[in-house]
Amino acid sequence: MSDPAAPATVTALGAGRFLVDRDGRQRLAHAVRAAGATWVFLDGDVTVVELAPATRARASGIDDAGSLSAPMPATVLAIAVQPGQRVAAGDVLLRLEAMKMELPVRAPRDATVIAVKCREGELVQPGVPLLELDEA
């Protein structure tokens, strides 16, 4: 087992994926930003990193694909949109269930739904796109 105090090298791979190298052992981590925090998934553990209020205010204008993916493994309960539909910022696009909690996935901006990449009842993984939006 690697020493938790040993320095690690983290390399961004894109789409919320990171390669973590510690003591010569490489592992894949996923990070997803949702609800003012970043959820980090590594070796079956979940760590939630809260953003400071000032950082949260600056980051709120950033549009990232993480807002259209599950923050943790979840089941798709309901899909409220279909391809071609126009949505407004904040509209609930779909609902997930994870750890006995219902999680709404909201539109990060006014847009048109290009594709729905999941089905009701499907188990989805963190960081995997659920919907594709185009700017309205």
Residues 16 and 80: their CA atoms lie apart, in Å, by 25
Find the CATH number of the domain harbouring 113.
2.40.50.100
Q: Is residue 119 one of the residues assigned to a domain?
A: yes
Length of the chain: 136
Q: Is residue 59 one of the residues assigned to a domain?
A: yes
Q: Is residue 92 one of the residues assigned to a domain?
A: yes
Res 13 pLDDT > 90: no
**The model scores a pTM over 0.75:** no
The predicted-structure confidence for 16-51, as pLDDT tens digits, reads as follows 788 888 888 898 888 877 656 777 777 777 677 776
Residues 19 and 29: their CA atoms lie apart, in Å, by 6
Q: Which two tokens stand for residue 113?
A: 């739904």
Q: Is residue 126 one of the residues assigned to a domain?
A: yes
Residues 41 and 29: their CA atoms lie apart, in Å, by 6
The predicted-structure confidence for 94-127, as pLDDT tens digits, reads as follows 998 887 788 888 888 899 999 999 999 999 987 7
Q: How many domains does the chain have?
A: 1
Q: Is residue 21 one of the residues assigned to a domain?
A: yes
Res 52 pLDDT > 90: no
Structural domain harbouring 112: 8-135
**What does the CA dihedral 110, 111, 116, 117 come to, rounded to 10 degrees?**
-90
What letter represents residue 122's amino acid? E
DSSP SS3 for 103: strand
Q: Is residue 3 one of the residues assigned to a domain?
A: no
